[in-house]
Structure 1
């Protein structure tokens, strides 16, 4: 496990977007906003200062189209300076060349603007799980351990989704359920995720049908009976 929370630097030149990404982080367990930077040079200074102070940044949410430097150039300068901070690209850029450059620069995830909170949460949770998988291992790691860690960065493919269920919302529902210590209803998921009750029930029923949730009737509530759901602890 990781000691403490994952410290995140948001690098984004649009103030509204930077504020939104920071607010999104605040809703996720295991992450803390370490600061924001509006351009590449500011980001590099913030990363260097944090490292020198003994409080290194763990993750950068990097906009690719900054006013002074391209996000890929910031990433290259980070590596050249010995900064091993992980990077998630957040950008509207869709050119394959840029995507390939992001992979070459060691960027671990790629988020395409515009995106919902659900999609944002899914990518960050996958990254957090990746760190947990690696942090739980010793220096000598088996192939299966490495495969398991990297698999956490990708969306599971062994759970076929019915038509109309989005990958991002599914990830947000799963993350919410994992955090709960008691069973929840579709109404509670609706309020937390910001989707309709009918939609919440579809996601919950799908997860229950695939064996990821325990499902049982909730008794003692007025009106129509409803089910409650709990994440299966493995």
Structure 2
């Protein structure tokens, strides 16, 4: 099938953005990721990279190479947009090859200082909250905010909790938080306003790695509760 986006526009002289909808949902995220895979499978001359988000896909390219190699007399943007409009995109059944990852998390205590607050807000006890949070299957919709920070869908609605009224000046890398109806993992030591319920010993972002971000859009995650002792044994 061909493109399923609803709008396309030039972002700047070296990138354009395709819009696939205006909601946050797994179905819409799949559409974005299917098109992302299609571009990488059949890149045009001058293609550089893509940036998938909740409902959009930004395509970055070298305008000079595009203008000199793609046929037609249009601008670089128009040439790329025309190419993308003819790109064949596979079906979800054909390309549903999500990478599955298990993320260890030590819940509560020094690693999850807001666990009891979230549990009280949700009328749950600590064990129920941990059980519900770790039982779900999560999909990474996008990486953003800071390098390596994963925005995920799939959290049980029973755990929805507002952000902090006053953000913390520093949240430790690896902290697992809840904000509204979403859960996420802090990839760096940064200020933040999510309710922190646990922490993973895994390093979400490391600029020295060949692929600095541990997670990427389209990954499927599950959280595995671990003890404090296991947390320190898994530190990376």
TM bracket, shorter-chain basis: under 0.3
TM norm structure 1: 0.23
Higher helix share: 1
Q: Which has the higher contact order (CA 8 A, sep 6+)?
A: 2
Higher strand share: 2
TM norm structure 2: 0.23
